[in-house]
């Protein structure tokens, strides 16, 4: 039986990870992270739960990475710490992975295997062909997976665009070739299924960027995703035309540019690129600065510039700042804050709402329809998107002629099974395995759960009240206290009676407690927490976190 099991990426943006399984052989597609949602206070990143992989570690033959974005590679070091697996990917993707493994001190232990687009990888009984796709980073691939049950096509993140460099286009002829020979199931990127039409071409983006840079009288600062190598090359080309020097800033930007230049994906004339410390050697009209921070990431290069904290770059009147990236949902407030700060410092700011200076790496509706018509799959499984994206994509497939019963809207943990030898021929959701999210907070992995997040939310909203008391162990008489200490919950002169009244509430509960009560401290703690929360809620409509510290002597 062939099984497709998503461990992440179906029902959310990010966390992309999928298991392909046949009998005793498993391989994995991608291992991505998700950036924390608003309620995940203090959490750095989120990765998929990997219990199923750990339980079946002896069956796993390797992991294929479709491209080098964090939502596809970010969880890889956490997986490889627990299971040492060969990793397969294209040249640029593997170099970015290698840098990540060096950070985690895993580079000496992991086998990285290069597979170029058009080449074939054999993980018996699977035969996997890498198919070039266009995306917002380079060297991305989709996969055509030959299995004993039939061919599965996994698009990866893709768009169907037309570039001046044909080697960066999605290889639609290879997708069509598999479609002509028969495809059991298509797994297709759903991220932009709600957007009509086609993605804007990179050529159009380049024309708009060139107009802005041509017209700029002072320094030009372009903020973008560091992984968007194609866009970086475009800006370099425009800078060269305008006889400007290029400076890169931001750790991830500098790392990715170094890799891309080494592999020949970024090219420019000698002496075009300067170091950040050389910016003072150029006049303002000779500078293009390419930087990170377009999403308002804390302490990113652009944020430090906007806040006046950057050592080398001080924003001033005449600077033109171009945010050449999409606003990721959840980052709107941070991005708006940056734009406001840049304006306050005298810069002119151009962003996607006022100019077409970015195009998505994900296919729009017409491109998704084209992929469906090229592949002509028997079954269709929408992937990579929130649940509404999956449903809309499923309906689109039905409009394209697929039978309703052959369109499978799955979620994380669903086991999608194919077995042509059974009476019930075809694909279905056979079972569900346990999946979930693991929070990474500092060096802690999985030690922050819902209860901790709940406490953090209570602390952020209501503050903290600590109740300290010393009791006589035998009689239950209060020997010290109750002493109330608060943080983020202000007792000022206008509400000073709160302390006295709260102490009365505490003493009443202590007096009602029988001396022979078992587990007295635990019982008293729960009663105090409940009573004080009710009291503070009733009196001043606040619900602080209550922490009783009770000592028996």
Asked if residue 458 belongs to a domain, the reply is yes
> Closest by alpha carbon to 342, among 363, 315, 367?
315
Average pLDDT, rounded, for the chain: 90
> Closest by alpha carbon to 338, among 349, 330, 324, 329?
349
pLDDT, average across residues 160-166:
71
pLDDT, average across residues 383-404:
97
DSSP one-letter string for 433-464: ----EEEEETTEES---HHHHHHHHHHHHH-E
Question: Are residues 464 and 539 both part of a single domain?
Answer: yes
Question: Are residues 284 and 307 both part of a single domain?
Answer: yes
224: CATH:
3.40.50.10710
Q: Which spans in 150-308 are helix H?
A: 172-181, 202-215, 229-241, 251-262, 301-306
Question: Are residues 56 and 176 both part of a single domain?
Answer: yes
> Closest by alpha carbon to 319, among 329, 328, 310?
310
Question: Are residues 431 and 458 both part of a single domain?
Answer: no
Cis peptide bond prior to 125, omega within 30° of 0: yes
Which residues make Cβ contacts (< 8 Å) with residue 326, sequence separation at least 6? Answer: 352, 358, 360
> Would you say 127 and 120 are in contact if contact means Cβ atoms under 8 Å apart?
yes
How confident is the model at residue 36, as a pLDDT? 77
Q: Domain boundary at 423, 445, 467, which?
A: 445
Question: Are residues 75 and 222 both part of a single domain?
Answer: no
Comparing 240-244, 292-296, 533-537, 538-542, the range with the smallest average pLDDT is 538-542
What stretch of H or E contains 154? Answer: strand 150-154
Q: Domain boundary at 350, 375, 405, which?
A: 350
501: CATH:
3.10.20.580
> Would you say 209 and 273 are in contact if contact means Cβ atoms under 8 Å apart?
no
Asked if residue 84 belongs to a domain, the reply is yes
Question: Are residues 180 and 57 both part of a single domain?
Answer: yes
Q: What is the pLDDT of residues 55-70, one digit of tens each?
A: 999 999 999 999 999 9
- Judged on CB neighbours under 10 Å (0-12, 13-18, 19+), 455 is middle
pLDDT interval class at 165 (50, 70, 90): low
396: CATH:
3.60.15.10
pLDDT, average across residues 253-280:
93
Question: Are residues 373 and 276 both part of a single domain?
Answer: no
Q: DSSP class of residue 34?
A: B
pLDDT interval class at 426 (50, 70, 90): low
Q: Domain boundary at 445, 476, 500, which?
A: 445
Instruction: Identify which has the larger pLDDT, 480 or 92.
Output: 92
Q: Which domain, by its residues, includes 261?
A: 202-350
> Closest by alpha carbon to 303, among 533, 312, 294?
294
Question: Are residues 155 and 273 both part of a single domain?
Answer: no
> Closest by alpha carbon to 170, among 133, 210, 124?
133
Instruction: Answer yes or no: is pLDDT of 542 > 50.
Output: yes
Asked if residue 355 belongs to a domain, the reply is no
pLDDT interval class at 425 (50, 70, 90): very low
Q: DSSP class of residue 201?
A: P
Instruction: Answer yes or no: is pLDDT of 223 > 70.
Output: yes
Asked if residue 513 belongs to a domain, the reply is yes
Instruction: Answer yes or no: is pLDDT of 386 > 80.
Output: yes
pLDDT, average across residues 128-149:
97
Q: Is 507 helix (H, G, I), strand (E, B) or coil?
A: helix
Question: Are residues 344 and 207 both part of a single domain?
Answer: yes
Instruction: Answer yes or no: is pLDDT of 289 > 90.
Output: yes
Question: Are residues 192 and 208 both part of a single domain?
Answer: no
How confident is the model at residue 380, as a pLDDT? 97
Q: What is the pTM of this model?
A: 0.86
Asked if residue 192 belongs to a domain, the reply is yes
Question: Are residues 217 and 158 both part of a single domain?
Answer: no
pLDDT, average across residues 433-462:
78
Q: DSSP class of residue 344?
A: H
Question: Are residues 108 and 21 both part of a single domain?
Answer: yes
Instruction: Answer yes or no: is pLDDT of 363 > 90.
Output: yes
Total domains, the chain: 3
What residues form DSSP beta bridges with 476? none
pLDDT, average across residues 145-150:
96
Asked if residue 47 belongs to a domain, the reply is yes
């Amino acid at each position: 039986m062939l099984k497709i099991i998503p461990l992440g990426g179906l029902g959310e943006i990010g966390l992309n990870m999928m298991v392909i399984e046949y009998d005793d052989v498993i391989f994995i597609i991608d291992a991505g992270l998700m950036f924390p949602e608003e309620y995940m206070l203090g959490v750095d990143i989120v990765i998929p739960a990997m219990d199923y992989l750990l339980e079946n570690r002896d069956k796993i033959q390797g992991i294929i990475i479709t491209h080098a974005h964090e939502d596809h590679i970010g969880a890889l070091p956490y997986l490889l710490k627990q299971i040492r697996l060969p990793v397969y990917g294209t040249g640029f993707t593997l170099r970015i992975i290698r840098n990540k493994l060096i950070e985690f001190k895993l580079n000496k232990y992991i086998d990285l295997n290069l597979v170029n687009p058009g080449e074939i990888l054999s993980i018996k009984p699977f035969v996997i062909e890498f198919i070039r796709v266009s995306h917002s980073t380079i060297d991305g691939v989709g996969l055509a997976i030959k299995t004993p049950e039939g061919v599965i096509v996994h698009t990866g993140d893709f768009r169907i665009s037309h570039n001046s460099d044909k080697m960066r286009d999605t290889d639609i002829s290879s997708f069509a070739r598999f479609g002509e020979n028969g495809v059991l199931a298509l797994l297709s990127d759903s991220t932009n299924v709600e957007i009509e039409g086609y993605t804007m071409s990179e050529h159009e983006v380049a024309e708009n960027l060139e107009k802005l840079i041509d017209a700029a009288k002072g320094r030009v600062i372009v903020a973008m995703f560091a992984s968007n190598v194609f866009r970086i090359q475009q800006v370099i080309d425009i800078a060269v035309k305008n006889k400007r020097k290029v400076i890169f800033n931001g750790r991830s930007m500098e790392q990715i540019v170094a890799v891309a230049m080494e592999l020949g994906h970024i090219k420019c004339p000698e002496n075009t690129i300067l170091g950040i410390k050389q910016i003072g050697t150029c006049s303002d009209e000779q500078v293009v600065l390419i930087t990170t921070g377009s999403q308002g990431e804390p302490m990113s290069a652009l944020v430090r510039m906007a806040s006046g904290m950057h050592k080398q770059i001080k924003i001033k009147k005449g600077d033109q700042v171009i945010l050449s990236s999409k606003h990721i949902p959840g980052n709107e407030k941070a991005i708006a804050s940056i734009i406001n700060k840049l304006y306050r410092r005298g810069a002119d700011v151009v962003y996607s709402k006022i100019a077409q200076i970015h195009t998505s790496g994900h296919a729009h509706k017409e491109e998704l329809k084209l992929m469906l018509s090229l592949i002509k799959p028997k079954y269709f499984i929408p992937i990579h998107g929130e649940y509404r994206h999956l449903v809309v994509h499923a309906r689109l497939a039905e409009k394209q002629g697929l039978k309703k019963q052959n369109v499978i809207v799955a979620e994380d943990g669903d086991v999608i099974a194919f077995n042509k030898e059974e009476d019930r021929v075809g694909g279905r959701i056979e079972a569900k395995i346990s999946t979930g999210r693991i929070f990474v907070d500092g060096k802690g992995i999985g030690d922050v759960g819902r209860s901790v997040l709940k406490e953090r939310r209570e602390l952020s909203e209501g503050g903290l009240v600590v109740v300290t008391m010393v009791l006589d162990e035998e009689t239950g008489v209060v020997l010290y206290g109750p002493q109330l200490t608060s943080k983020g919950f202000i007792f000022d002169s206008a509400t000073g009676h709160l302390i006295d009244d709260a102490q009365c509430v505490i003493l009443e509960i202590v007096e009602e407690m029988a001396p022979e009560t078992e587990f007295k401290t635990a019982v008293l703690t729960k009663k105090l927490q409940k009573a004080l929360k009710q009291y503070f809620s009733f009196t001043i409509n606040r619900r602080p976190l209550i922490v009783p510290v009770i000592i028996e002597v």
